[in-house]
Amino acid sequence: MDKGLNESRKDFPILDQQVNGEPLVYLDNAATTQKPNQVLTAILNYYQADNANVHRGVHTLAERATDRYEAARDKVAAFINAASRKSIVYTRSTTEALNWVAASFGNLVVNEGDEIVISQLEHHSNIVPWQQVAQKRHATLKYIDLTKDGELDMASAKRQITDKTKIVSIAHAANVMGVVNPIKELAAIAHQHGAYMIADGAQAVPHMKVDVQDLDVDFYAFSGHKMLAPTGIGVLYGKQDLLEMMPPAQFGGEMIDFVHHQDASWTQLPWKFEAGTPNISGAIGLASAIDYLNQLGMANVQAYEREIVAYTLPKLLSIDGLTLYGPSDPNKHTGVMAFNLAGLHPHDVATGLDMEGVAVRAGHHCAQPLMDYLNVTATARASFYFYNTFAEADKLVEAITAVKEFFADGIS
């Protein structure tokens, strides 16, 4: 498996460089993934051959651009098994998608005395919008607790989700703890209580096969840049009847049916949410990224990541003074591994690793409530993808050991 998927590294020229005199080991994939030549070529080809605005033009370039833009929507729908292309709305990011659901749908269905349930694992993008809805609608925001291994505590979930709950919004995969949450089970619990289920799929869609119909989520959001596509393109999936209910989140060109002097009417799904000139090249790049991932096979991507996590986790846990956050079972883990070294600030750890050519993230990872829950200010985070190798996992462990010894010598 290592050799099979790693043959794809040739498609990522950015990985073939040195940083601070060392071969680059890129382990910041949870923040953004690198882009293969195929995606870059698709974007360049659009600008060189088909560049025009979509939908409104009748000339040949506009028609070609529109065809490619809408064909990308079909690929997205197939990739997550949406029942209809009308359920696929382009956004800038997971963040924008979740904000649209909160501001439009949340304010539509949440009333005074209702409850919104999220978890201690969430990214700020899945916390702050719901805080705003709760404050505006005089609702209560509740948190599902975690187990000692950093997994979602389902007993807590069943206590927190009640007949007063209107919204349950949970990350499918966590960006710090690396856990995969039981979204299908949570959706069933939410629906039993008459609540709507929303999933933040930013850390899931790039790493496993996602079937929104099987999960039975009401809304699902994810970003292109975490799955080989460009920045600035994201997706909001919503059940068609719910999207029909929602008022648009933005207004302007593209999303109107007719504008009178004093009022206006909206066009049909999915375009009623896509005001203004869209990110055409981003959608085309996303389609190319989906082609690439389909060629690899999402089952193969997930299996490989589990292998490299199973290889790496014991080595990390063997480092004296290293604390790992999240489960130690690789079958319950994505390629995200957050950790701290005793006595060292995560920023110092990340800077030291960078001097060894190893790129990791350090900080609160837009999850400050989780940092409070863990009683830390920040963590370092290494995150793997299918183009990372077992040799790079070894380099991570060696570099952490070197950083630890460097600071120990400096302190002594």
Residues 6 or more apart in contact with residue 92 via CB below 8 angstroms:
232, 233, 234, 279
Q: What are the beta bridge partners of residue 90?
A: 235
Residues 6 or more apart in contact with residue 20 via CB below 8 angstroms:
354, 355, 356, 357
The backbone torsions φ and ψ at residue 309, rounded to the nearest 5 degrees and listed phi first, read: -70, -45
Start-to-end CA distance of the chain, whole Å, equals 44
Q: How many CB atoms lie within 10 A of CB 198?
A: 30
Pull the structure tokens for residue 411.
């302190």
Residues 6 or more apart in contact with residue 347 via CB below 8 angstroms:
362, 363, 378
Residues 6 or more apart in contact with residue 320 via CB below 8 angstroms:
none
User: How far is it, in rounded angstroms, from Cα 305 to Cα 139?
Assistant: 40
Radius of gyration, alpha carbons of the chain: 22
Residue 177, classified by CB atoms within 10 Å of its CB into exposed (0-12), middle (13-18) or buried (19+), is buried
Report cis status (omega within 30 of 0) of the bond before 270. Answer: yes
Strand ranges, E, within 6-76: 18-19, 22-23, 25-26
Identify whether the C-beta of residue 196 lies closer than 8 Å to the C-beta of residue 168.
Answer: yes
DSSP 185-224: HHHHHHHHTT-EEEEE-TTTTTTS---HHHHT-SEEEEES
User: How far is it, in rounded angstroms, from Cα 220 to Cα 202?
Assistant: 9
Catalytic residues: 366
Which residue is it, tokens 């846990």? 317
Which of 365, 370, 357 lies closest to 400 in space, CA to CA? 357
